[in-house]
Amino acid sequence: MEIIVILLFFVFLAIGVPISLVLGLMTLLYFFTLGDPQLLTSMPQQLFSSLDNYGLLAIPLFMLAGELMNGGGITSKLVRFARVLLGHFRGGLAYVTVIANMFLASILGSANAQAAMMSKTMVPEMEKEGYDRGFSAALTLSSSIVAPIIPPSMIFIIYGTLSGASIGGLFMAGIIPGIIYGAAFVGLIAFMGYKYNFPKSEKSTSHEMLKSTVSVLPALLVPLVIIVGILSGAFTATESAAVACVIAFLVGFLFYKELKLNKLPNILFNTVVSTATVTFLIAMAGAFGWMIAFEQIPQTIANGMLSLSENPIVFLLLLNIFLLLLGAVLDGIAALIILVPVFMPLLMTYGIDPIHFGVIICINLTIGLLTPPIGTGLFIVSSIAEVKFESLIKSVFPFLTMGVIVLFIITYWEDAVLLIPRMLGL
């Protein structure tokens, strides 16, 4: 019967059933076939306990902050600032896309949300400047993978909640890897710009640069307050999300005057829908993880990994390969909730820091957004940017390759991840 459940799992995924429903249905089906009513009656409690965690409160708050910043014109100010600084270089608008994504990563914290938003704005602009639409869409999608790395990060919040690792420490651990990813993509664009003769725009005047710099300063208050507040101990990561909402509202309403009161119902509606989608997935994945634990699958995998090698270098290599393959077929949050209980017992055995492991697993699953056959980011950008799916896959390949290279650098260069958390005692 277990084989039938596994086959149905992949069949439902292949025909496009939402992953949250697949996880819930498979859990119900499996426990129903066991014939134990006690397991079925315990499932509602498992669904509730998956969400009964204070750390998850940061998710709707950060989503609300992102919606307020979009509605208040803060994101457009950040994009304009990056364009004024870099637009005059060859391939300048491509650089702007990467830098703007790094700015926005500290606001949205969700790669899918960021890819969707940036596809609406940057892809048409790049096409007007003479860039290939497929390349523009691929660049927009690829540079969005820094979103879950640079704080604040929804996926770090979920990992910290599951593993017990410091969420503040995870936030700080993502800073250097995020910068490395940005620099790697900038270097790739520079090479491609030289090879394919990318276009460039006119250089902005000193007055335009000064004006853009002054206008962007209020927009930078949100990430600044979040990071400084967490580091100083003034508030927790969850509390920082509430503070970010207040600042985003004040900046959009008072400074930029683009956040109108009639926009608030739509902003709140979008926040509720996004939060409900994520929390429903977390609940279903929690129940699925309970089923896996019931079958002692984590112990089986752990023993299998130990039998292959006790060397942490080999373990991390196998882990990355496994996660990259899994990220291509399974939603990142669902995979995180299922896998963290599986691998956490192995960290002490191999001497791997939980924060370092958290960054590795989160980057792996984020790269899955770019990976065929069912990387969700590919479908989102293909639809919004109106680019053929096959063309997008071909264009995204160089960025996917660079993303994997940087992943292995971060995997084996521990200080790149843990330098800042260790300096701050997190």
Split at pLDDT 50, 70, 90, the class of 95 is confident
Per-state percent for the chain, helix, strand, coil, to nearest 5: 80, 0, 20
User: Distance between CA atoms of 4 and 315, rounded to whole angstroms?
Assistant: 31
Q: Is 52 helix (H, G, I), strand (E, B) or coil?
A: coil
pLDDT the model gives residue 424: 78
Q: What is the mean pLDDT of residues 158-164?
A: 83
Spacing of C-alpha 332 from chain mean position: 8
Summarised one tens digit per residue, pLDDT across range 323-367 is 887 776 666 677 787 788 778 878 888 888 999 999 998 888 888
With tokens 């791997």, the residue in question is 352
Q: What DSSP designation does 368 have?
A: G
Percent of the chain whose predicted confidence (pLDDT) is above 70:
87
The C-alpha atoms of residue 53 and residue 409 are separated, in whole angstroms, by: 33
- Per-residue pLDDT of 224-262, as tens digits, reads 777 777 667 777 767 777 888 888 888 888 888 888 888
Q: Which residues contact 232 (CB under 8 A, 6 or more apart)?
A: none
- Considering only residues 50 and 318, tell me which one the structure prediction assigns the higher pLDDT: 318
Is the dihedral angle over the CA atoms 23, 24, 28, 34 positive or is it negative?
Answer: positive
- The reported pTM is 0.73
Mean pLDDT of 61-86: 75
SS3 at position 101? helix
Contact 173, 417 (CB under 8 A): yes
Note the pLDDT of residue 373: 63
If one compares 108 and 148, the residue with the highest pLDDT of the two is 148
pLDDT digits (tens, 9 = 90+) for 8-53: 777 776 776 777 787 788 888 888 777 777 777 777 877 777 777 6
Q: Which of 396, 282, 279, 280 is nearest to 328 (CA)?
A: 396
Tell me how crowded residue 172 is: count the other CB atoms within 10 A of its CB: 24
The mean pLDDT of the chain is 79
